[in-house]
Chain A
């Protein structure tokens, strides 16, 4: 290697780290400044940390409600997906049945369906079902839209479960569902963990569905809340920054704590 190559490479790594983090830092900074000194002073955090903006958006602009709604929606979606996708993934991976290829192709196609292209019919259907402006009207379609990815990922995970393990259990007289719950699920726990995190992440990030389905302010999740705050108080930068931080901090923390699970989940399918 030429003596200059390595420093240049390090510089490239550093520039991209700045590209990655600078906007995040900017938000943290803005969230802790008051209106008056927002654009004054050095680019360092105030000390002691000034949490006034957080207090304000949390209790006055309804962000405690938005946050709670995001939790309810994302957790519900995650539970529904965890109850359905592993079963389906197992069936595709380990059971031979008529129509397997066709049904799997049907799910595969769903992998790429853009939510906006479904909305034209989905909206009317939800209206007919009385689900417009209800949490269920967001939770069920969102779980459904995440189903293809989840089933696909679970099939990949289930393929690695040794057949002998399943056979040993069913030979002992256990039904397939008992085997699934008692033997298979414990083995694929890391895969379930990844699935859980990814589904939670995606449903927390979702914007379009809650935007069109929910009208009542107290039902809206944090993505919709943050976007509307931008419109309502166009100049309250400290407040918007605090709101944005509340919206993404849980995800960043989850990711940093459970990096390995996250990465495994997101790259599922890329390797196979």
Chain B
């Protein structure tokens, strides 16, 4: 209905910006991954030689595993919590809903850097609130140096991630619940169904699309996150909280191994883009 030429003028500013600072660098990264590097300079084409190093890089596999664990933990805790909370909230007064949704959402507005600092204190083994609380409850034997022990670090950080994420899930689920036909619940009431039965048989199935969206969103975010780890553990203790993004950062800025940093970036990109196409396809096909 309008001159197509105008469309390109409308697109140009956003497209140029995007190409210059995102798309072109991505193409470069892919190119870099096929070269050997000598003190920061492109050296020679080596084909897939850089990629071959992935096989023996145990830190890479540990990082990938941690990313995967992060996805599972996110699906298991904040997503489920969001589902449950929004189902409960749906039956409350509008003012209550608005107030609680806002409260649950506040952590997401806090920069992850600051969230990391705050929770670093809560987890502090000496004066941290968590150990203090356990002590008061007479559970002192469960106290840990939460972020400094390999067995607890990743899990403890995930609680922080969940803290910033569950409110988002509540908001998304609430929007979807409000579009469920109330007569479904009324019919269930007449049949004498309890709250749990209605939750299981009506709410959960009808929220499948939101669950799918949030699940894929969480999976992609789990591959992308960096700030939280970097300000708390920087991947440690040892490699216990290493993830792909921190591995890329260290390989590039600390080791200066440009070719291999490019390889890791490519792997990261391939994973997120596959997840994205999967989501696009899944969400579109319904």
A residues in contact (CB < 8 Å) with B: 1-2, 5, 9, 12-13, 16-17, 19-21, 23-24, 26-27, 30, 39, 80, 83-85, 87-88, 90-92, 94-98, 100, 103, 106-125, 140-141, 143-145, 147-148, 150-151, 163, 167, 170, 176-177, 180, 201, 204-205, 207-208, 212, 223-224, 226-227, 230, 237, 240, 244, 247-248, 251-252, 254-256, 259, 262-263, 266-267, 270-271
Contacts and interface: CB of A to CB of B under 8 A. Distances in A.
Contacts of B45: none
A5 B113 CA distance: 39
Contacts of A255: 102, 105-106, 109
A158 B230 CA distance: 38
B110 A230 contact: no
Given A120-B29, A255-B105, A244 B118 contact: yes
Interface stretch (B47-55, B68-76, B140-148, B247-255): B247-255
Candidate in B2, B89, B127 with the most chain A CB atoms within 10 angstroms: B2
Candidate in B114, B253, B273 with the most chain A CB atoms within 10 angstroms: B114
Nearest to B280: A108
B79 to A, nearest CB: 13
A122 B25 contact: yes
A103 to B, nearest CB: 7
B28 A270 contact: no
Contacts of B28: 121, 124-125
Contacts of B11: 87-88, 91-92, 103
Contacts of B166: 16
Classify the secondary structure of A's interface with B. Answer: helix
Given A19-B163, A21-B106, A266-B171, A140 B18 contact: no
Shortest Cβ-Cβ A-B pairs, 10 listed: A144-B21, A97-B4, A121-B28, A88-B14, A91-B10, A117-B265, A114-B224, A121-B25, A97-B7, A84-B14
Interface string B171-196: 11001100000000000000000110
B114 A226 contact: yes
A147 to B, nearest CB: 5
B88 A12 contact: yes
Given A120-B29, A143-B17, A251 B1 contact: no
A135 B88 CA distance: 46
